[in-house]
């Protein structure tokens, strides 16, 4: 099963929110994670911000970066999808299409409203874990 996980869920997972199982699932390779260099840069860049320094040890950030780079399947992005009402989220859709994902998992209403996108179901995390 090929899955795109929205960047916000990856960040929330590292912060120990409700989605904390995501990181473990990625490391245990319970599904094939579809990602991109753009997503990795975004996630790691956000986690290295000053406001997270006291909340997330650098070792956890590096562990996530390593998992994304070495366990995830990195797809190329060409910036040719413009269907999301929030342009910053178009790359999530493009990862799904280019990676031939079975699911896109997000909590973002701008993406959820497009469900399904080009026959790819877009699910909330709670829906995804029920699979």
Whether the bond into 96 is cis, omega within 30 of 0: no
* Number of domains comprising the chain: 1
CA distances from 87 to 64, 76, 81, 91 (A): 25, 18, 9, 8
Average pLDDT over residues 60-74: 87
Burial 71-87 (b: 16+ CB within 10 A, else e): ebebbebeeebeebeee
CB 14 within 8 A of CB 56: yes
Indicate the pLDDT class of residue 93, thresholds 50, 70 and 90.
very high
> What is the four-CA torsion angle of 21, 27, 30, 34, rounded to 10 degrees?
100
Q: Is the pLDDT of residue 21 over 80?
A: no
For residue 48, give its domain range: 2-129
- CATH classification at residue 117: 3.40.50.1010
**Highest mean predicted confidence (pLDDT) among 9-18, 57-66, 78-87:** 78-87
Share of the chain above pLDDT 90, in %: 60
The side-by-side arrangement of strands in the sheet containing 103-105 is 73-74, 32-35, 2-5, 103-105, 122-123
Q: How far apart are alpha carbons 130 and 88 in whole angstroms?
A: 28
Average pLDDT over residues 47-63: 85
CB 104 within 8 A of CB 117: yes
> How many Cβ atoms are within 10 Å of 47's Cβ, its own excluded?
21
The structure's pTM equals: 0.89
């Amino acid at each position: 099963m090929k899955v795109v996980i929205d960047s916000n869920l990856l960040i929330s997972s590292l912060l120990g929110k409700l989605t904390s199982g995501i990181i473990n699932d990625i490391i245990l390779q319970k599904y094939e994670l579809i990602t991109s260099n753009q997503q990795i840069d975004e996630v790691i860049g956000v986690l290295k911000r000053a406001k997270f320094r006291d909340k997330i040890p650098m070792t956890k950030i590096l562990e996530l970066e390593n998992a994304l780079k070495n366990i995830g399947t990195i797809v190329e992005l060409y910036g040719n999808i413009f269907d999301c009402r929030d342009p910053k989220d178009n790359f999530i859709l493009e990862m799904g299409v280019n990676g031939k994902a079975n699911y896109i998992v997000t909590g973002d209403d701008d993406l959820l409203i497009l469900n399904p996108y080009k026959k790819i179901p877009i699910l909330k995390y709670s829906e995804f874990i029920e699979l």
